[in-house]
Amino acid sequence: MTTTNQVLADWVKEVAELTQPDQIYWCDGTAAEEQKFNDMLLADGTYKKLNEETHPNCFLHLSDPQDVARVEHLTFICTEKEADAGPNNHWMAPQDAHQKIDDLFAGCMQGRTMYVIPYCMGPIDSPISRCGVEITDSAYVVQNMRLMTRMGSDALARIEREGGFVKGLHSTGELDPDRRFIMHFPEELAIKSYGSGYGGNALLGKKCHALRIASYQAKTEGWLAEHMLILGIKTPAGKQHYVAAAFPSACGKTNLAMLIPPEGYVKDGWEISTVGDDICWMRPGEDGRLWAINPEAGFFGVAPGTAKATNPNALKMLYKDTIFTNVAETEDGQPWWEGLDDRTPKTDWQGRPFDPANGPAAHPNSRFTVSAKRCPSYSPESEAAAGVPIDAIIFGGRRASLVPLVAEAKSWDHGVLMGATVASETTAAATGAVGVVRRDPMAMKPFCGYNFGDYWAHWVAMQEKANHLPKVFTVNWFRKDDQGKFMWPGFGENMRVLEWIIGRCQGELSATETAIGHLPSKDDINTDNLDMDMNVLEDLLAVDAAGWKSEAESVEAFLSEYGNRVPKALFDQLKQLQSQLA
């Protein structure tokens, strides 16, 4: 396979001259090719076949123990002006970055094959989708990109039709942590990643393209690329709604994306469907609404904690056609991780006989890669070229105090402020200082490809591009009582909060106006068969004025870090909040 796109042909030739591979292979995305790569990875020991009876066509890959997670401190945004990258990113001048990483790439593919992967982020025929090409020397990356993107000859045909594409160059290099960088060049629509085989650093379609580069593309082209799940909610009356929701890590994002409602809801005829669990691209439609696609074709999920009790839909996906990375293995060759069940594994994520003294059996960031079509709640609308219309945008964080269970923004500007200042409190597990509020705007702190001030301004400006924007809400499932116990049951019961959100979108359910937004009373929330003290629910929906005054001061200090790039609208909203609290 070659290409009629001269820019692509020239770039492949240039990369080959730099990296010196033994051969060049163009990926076509066929089933025969998938089989060939699986056989090759099994033969060279990169893959181990798992129990064919319980987990047909499933494979285990164990990475280098020093290469098991995203490396934020080695991830750079390389714009001509440092201020354009913003305080939210590590910056390097493009010329210096190219020089530094190209020195590492020089000759790095000698003795290896260079794989050329044309891919499409989003349905192949969607105007919202964008294409890229990843060049890599890792067959493991090829197989993961096969599940995570629409990859192969159809994507190449679209690139040849349209001309433009994001360039991604990757090599595992020596897997040396001291020779590892992930460089992004938003102004050039290019990514260079060296020295890691881990998904977030090596599957360049994922966070690198779909968020860091796409967020910049979205700013220049007038749309939004966000770290959000997309959930379908159908009411008993048959009305279909879609919500997009942003949560920082460890806040239950995947569980919400694959939510199973309480029994009463199912009986009443509510239906939940999953369009995406991680990334959402939204574009203003001709009807003034935001229309969204999930640019990914698969799930790259964290295995530990995925279980029948927490996320039965996710678990059901993983018994076929799945790549497992850094999980443990049972005596009979089944994948295993903490939280799955009470079996004792035979070997751990480093292939050693399991010994609790060595730490967890599965790496805490161990992963599964699986096609989205395997999900029991998969929505066929995931392939809709037009995308799905978004009725509500939800921002969530992990706050043990202060932030209520749910609140609705008073306006779009107010919603942008809510999203820009969403935060989580640190836990004892993460750091010595417990309860430190860490802001993660729109859950995009590690992923925004440019200055947060400009990013918020772009959000504010969406009002000029679309006149039926979604309603904006915040949720907090993680409030704790004086004994340190969670006050809200969470998981499937979160459906009760979603019901109120949908009711607000339909103009059918009431709310009380407060300084911090429109809040439900405990009577506005459906509590049928809910096993909880109604006084606790009332506490979850109360506004602590004194606490919010100090929160507002903290928000002001945070926004001020971004200087004059912060849109005036956010400071206006903050002043309004402060005067209402006073």
- Which of 413, 508, 509 is closest to 462 using CA atoms? 413
Give the other-Cβ count within 10 Å of 455's Cβ: 27
- DSSP code for 378: B
Taking the C-alpha atoms of residue 283 and residue 279, their distance in angstroms, rounded to an integer, is: 14
User: Known catalytic residue: 251?
Assistant: yes
Non-local CB neighbours of 77 within 8 Å, separated by 6+ positions: 85, 89, 90, 91, 184, 186, 212, 449, 450
Taking the C-alpha atoms of residue 515 and residue 518, their distance in angstroms, rounded to an integer, is: 8
Helical H segments across 168-259, by residue range: 199-202, 214-221, 253-257
Backbone angles phi, psi at 192, to 5 degrees: -135, 125
Asked whether 211 and 121 are in contact (CB, 8 A), the reply is no
Asked whether 159 and 149 are in contact (CB, 8 A), the reply is no
Which pair of tokens denotes residue 228?
A: 């959000």
Non-local CB neighbours of 537 within 8 Å, separated by 6+ positions: 405, 522, 525, 527
Asked whether 75 and 161 are in contact (CB, 8 A), the reply is no
Strand, helix or coil for residue 154:
helix
Angle of helix 545-560 relative to helix 568-581, nearest 10 degrees, comes to 160
Taking the C-alpha atoms of residue 317 and residue 330, their distance in angstroms, rounded to an integer, is: 19
Taking the C-alpha atoms of residue 462 and residue 457, their distance in angstroms, rounded to an integer, is: 9
Q: Are strands 228-234 and 240-246 parallel, antiparallel or unpaired?
A: antiparallel
Non-local CB neighbours of 75 within 8 Å, separated by 6+ positions: 90, 181, 182, 184, 446
The active-site residue out of 27, 251, 280, 448 is: 251
User: What's the half-sphere exposure (Cβ side, CA atoms, 13 Å) at 365?
Assistant: 12
Backbone angles phi, psi at 191, to 5 degrees: -135, 140
- CA-atom Rg of the chain in angstroms: 24
- DSSP code for 263: H
Which pair of tokens denotes residue 416?
A: 């942008």
Taking the C-alpha atoms of residue 99 and residue 104, their distance in angstroms, rounded to an integer, is: 9
Give the other-Cβ count within 10 Å of 359's Cβ: 12
Asked whether 192 and 169 are in contact (CB, 8 A), the reply is yes
**Active centre residues (catalytic):** 251
